[in-house]
Structures are given as C-alpha cells and as structure tokens.
Amino acid sequence: MDSDFEHVKPENWKWGIFYVNRRDNRLIVPKRTKNLGWTLNFAHVKVWIGLALILLIIIATELFFNKA
C-alpha cells in the first residue's frame, strides 16, 4: 500500500486547499499538486501553536518596535 494513501483522499482536504487529517502524523505534507510545494496538516495542535506564536511575534513587533 502507498504510504501516502491518506493524502489523496478528497475528504482530507477542506475546501480543496487545507489538509486536515488526524491519522497522518506529519505536520508538513506535500500539496495536492506536489509540484506546488508543501502545506501544513491543520489537524495537529502543534501547527496551531506555531501559527499563534508567529502571529504573536508579528503583533509584538508592531506594538513595541514601531513607535515612530
């Protein structure tokens, strides 16, 4: 069996662009069209924590270092 069998199932792609699959333990997966790069597996908490940290860093940078 192909190791990427879950990746090709349409029900694991929300709105065709967001990969959401709790059974897949990878955080970063190839996009549906593999030549277009990689995407995140939005079913994992680590992905959401990482995105929240990036957002907090951006907000903190804007608030504290852009006082012109």
Count of domains observed in the chain: 1
Predicted TM-score (pTM) of the model is: 0.74
User: Whole-angstrom Cα distance, residue 39 to residue 7?
Assistant: 12
**Structural domain includes residue 4:** no
Q: What are phi and psi of 14, to 5 degrees?
A: -85, 130
**Structural domain includes residue 58:** yes
**Structural domain includes residue 3:** no
**Structural domain includes residue 44:** yes
**Structural domain includes residue 48:** yes
- Is the Cα dihedral 14, 18, 21, 22 positive or negative? negative
**Structural domain includes residue 27:** yes
**Structural domain includes residue 24:** yes
- Grouped pLDDT means (10 residues each) for the chain, 68 residues: 66 89 90 88 94 95 80
Which DSSP category does 38 fall into?
E
Range of the structural domain that residue 43 is part of: 10-65
Under 8 Å between Cβ of 27 and 47: yes
